[in-house]
Amino acid sequence: MLTNQSTFAIGIDIGGTTTKFGVVNKDGKILQQNNIASNKHSDIHFFIEELYQNIQPLIENFGGNKNCVGIGIGAPNGNFYSGTIEFAPNLIWKGIIPLASLIQNKFGLKTLLTNDANAAAVGEMMYGVAKGLKHFITITLGTGVGSGIVIDGKILLGYDGFAGELGHTIIRHNGRLHKGTGALGSLESYVSASGIVATAQEFLSNDILKESLLHQYSKDELTSQIIYSSAMKGDKVAQKVFEFSGEILGEALANFVMFSSPEMIVLFGGITNAGDLLMHPTKTAMEKNLLPIFRNKVKLVFSILPASDAAILGASALVWEN
């Protein structure tokens, strides 16, 4: 394999709605990137065909397959050991999809797959705020709540490759129903984008007479972004939504700290645009629920990687790392 300065990897980040991909050099620079819809083809082969039509020209732009060290993919429920996506509730393809081998055969390039949140954690470790750290956790707060756990400088995969599903841990016994999994009270049901909207809707219906900017939006119009901007304008209900969400997130983070004792927790994803509105109640609740020996030790920070880049970088880093 050539490993001169012109070598590159392909990073692919498969999300529920959009699949982003890019050409990445070893320094973590995205040389070119683009995206396609994730949910257009219910047959995985058509999806891979469209991906190939879009990515192969990029590979050619940078010298062709001979300069490409491989393809790294992050996807929900992606399994590093088996190279498969298994029963991903947010993707259009059902059952067990042997994605890594399908893409490897199509492109003729070494292909590695992992969970999308694990890919983001690798990105943080190689190029982000957790650069060089040996023990940290990344939590992605977006459409879903994902997590990547780094122990002794390695992504925690566990016995079967599915470790790090922290969004599905139960934080409120008999709590809110997660429509995708059927679980009651999982973290994702509260602090994902739709979870935050659900909290706002609960507060609005319980407090129907209370003045709030949020009342002007219909149930379908309300988004976490609108709740955020209303909170910034001083809306008390919207502010209370972030206080409530941060309290739940912080309590969950305390539990995670008492499991693996990380040096840092990196929060990542669209919801983190809320900044201090989310960070302050989260940190307060985390510290409050920690055993004294853990208090005021763990750095709780937001990712500094551009959201669109981190997952692509992390996916490509899989190839450089392995």
Q: Which residues bind its own copies (CB under 8 A)?
A: 77, 86-87, 134-135, 149, 151-152, 154, 156-166, 168-173, 181, 183, 251, 254-256, 258-263, 289, 291-294, 297
Q: Parallel, antiparallel, or unpaired for β 145-151 and 136-141?
A: antiparallel
Least distance to its own copies from the beta carbon of 298, Å?
A: 8
Which C-beta is closer to its own copies: that of 69 or that of 145? 145
Please report, in angstroms and rounded to a whole number, the separation of the first and last CA atoms in the chain. Answer: 14
Least distance to its own copies from the beta carbon of 198, Å?
A: 17
Bridge partners (DSSP) of residue 12 are 21, 73
Which C-beta is closer to its own copies: that of 162 or that of 302? 162
Which C-beta is closer to its own copies: that of 58 or that of 166? 166
Which C-beta is closer to its own copies: that of 234 or that of 292? 292
CA distance 137 to 149: 5
Which C-beta is closer to its own copies: that of 11 or that of 246? 246
CA distance 108 to 110: 7
Least distance to its own copies from the beta carbon of 96, Å?
A: 10
DSSP labels, 206-271: HTTTS--GGGGS-TTT--HHHHHHHHHTT-HHHHHHHHHHHHHHHHHHHHHHHHH--SEEEEESGG
Least distance to its own copies from the beta carbon of 84, Å?
A: 11
Least distance to its own copies from the beta carbon of 258, Å?
A: 4
Least distance to its own copies from the beta carbon of 149, Å?
A: 7
- Residue that is written with structure tokens 């956790």 in the block: 137
Report helix, strand or coil for 43.
Answer: coil
Least distance to its own copies from the beta carbon of 179, Å?
A: 14
Which C-beta is closer to its own copies: that of 163 or that of 177? 163
Residue 223: what are its φ and ψ, rounded to 5°?
Answer: -130, 165
DSSP labels, 95-145: SEE-HHHHHHHHHTS-EEEEEHHHHHHHHHHHHSTTTT-SSEEEEEESSSE
Neighbour tally for 292: CB within 10 Å: 6
- The H or E element spanning position 317 is helix 307-321
Which C-beta is closer to its own copies: that of 68 or that of 267? 267
- Residue that is written with structure tokens 């001979």 in the block: 66
